[in-house]
Amino acid sequence: MHLDFRRLLEKAKGVSEFPIALNVDIRGFTKWSGDSAESGLFIKKTYIRLIDEYFANASFYKATGDGLLVIFPVDENDPQAAVRATVNMALKIVENFPNLNQGDPMINFETPQAVGVGLARGPASRLVSGHKVLDYSGSPLNLASRLMEVARPEGVILDGNFGYELLTPSIAKRFDSERVYLPGVAPKTGINIFYTKDCTEIPASAKRPIEGTKWGNGVLESTKRELLELPGTYMLSLDSTPADPNSIVCYIRHVSRTTAGRKRKGGSTRRDIPPDALTFREFPDGPVVEIAMPEVHRLLNRPRGPGPSWPVEICAEFIAV
């Protein structure tokens, strides 16, 4: 597949459009996925059901680990139809997810029961080669991902400019409004959002400006080889107490890799560790964040990851008390 992608890039070109971006994430998947056979079967069956039952009209979708990024076209002459259809679909996914695989004789074990969904729309670029869509990029994709992270423990969050006023009254009344501050999107000024008031709780940390506050962190410096040898969980010490433990952001960082497999001079790669792989704990010696190492191993082994002896950092960032 990667060789086909490389070949298609030769004739690829960017096409601008104004689609809807939907990011759906399975809550609790990382902590649940202890058995590789069960987790692999579950994620496969879940993706198939979501695509067949909800995303059949999507123009593009791709896996994001334990979720999916989905793109839907918008008719500029009738944006209301796309807005209503997508929001209704997102609400049904949240409601029906616990029973999504019900009746499948292969799913005879306990599975995650909730999802979070972020929705945004606006200008994006479609990378096309012939009749194949290779990828999408643009602010709506990033925003949908950030909103999805805030939709906890489950629910749907709409960007304030998504089109709340286009919803039917019966659907609109299921949402409440809030102003949130998102890293990389609106850390100082914040943005308006609409969230499902019956099942979503906006964390306090998201309701105040990010920049200008006191930040805390934790760092582990190691190599890929050493990290792959760490089983179970790793307790990363933090330099201060988080104001909101649920707002801790953890990621791995390493030197970028060229297509030839060499270190890229002056470049670095950051890959976020899913929040479901993190557990905050306080001990007499100080606070720690417990990190599920299987998720770190998965990120390190992704394409264009670091070499075995390359230095790797595991970093934690958060707003401190």
Least confident of 45-54, 102-111, 241-250: 241-250
Radius of gyration of the chain (CA): 20
What is the rounded CA–CA span in Å between residue 98 and residue 254?
37
Share of the chain above pLDDT 70, in %: 98
**Averaged pLDDT score across all residues of the chain:** 91
pLDDT recorded at residue 52? 96
pLDDT confidence band for 212 (50 / 70 / 90): low
Strand partners of residue 107: none
Whether residue 152 contacts residue 116, with contact meaning beta carbons closer than 8 Å, is answered with yes
Two tokens at 125? 């670029």
What is the rounded CA–CA span in Å between residue 257 and residue 271?
13
Helix (H, G, I), strand (E, B) or coil at 29: helix
What CATH topology corresponds to 12-207? Alpha-Beta Plaits (3.30.70)
Q: Which pLDDT tens digit goes with each residue over 117-142?
A: 999 999 999 999 998 999 999 999 99
What is the rounded CA–CA span in Å between residue 27 and residue 60?
23
Q: Domain boundaries in the chain?
A: 12-207, 215-319
pLDDT confidence band for 1 (50 / 70 / 90): low
Strand partners of residue 191: 180
Checking DSSP bridges between strand 114-121 and strand 155-159, what pairing results, if any?
parallel
Q: Which pLDDT tens digit goes with each residue over 218-267?
A: 999 999 999 999 999 999 999 999 988 888 989 999 988 877 788 877 66
pLDDT confidence band for 79 (50 / 70 / 90): very high
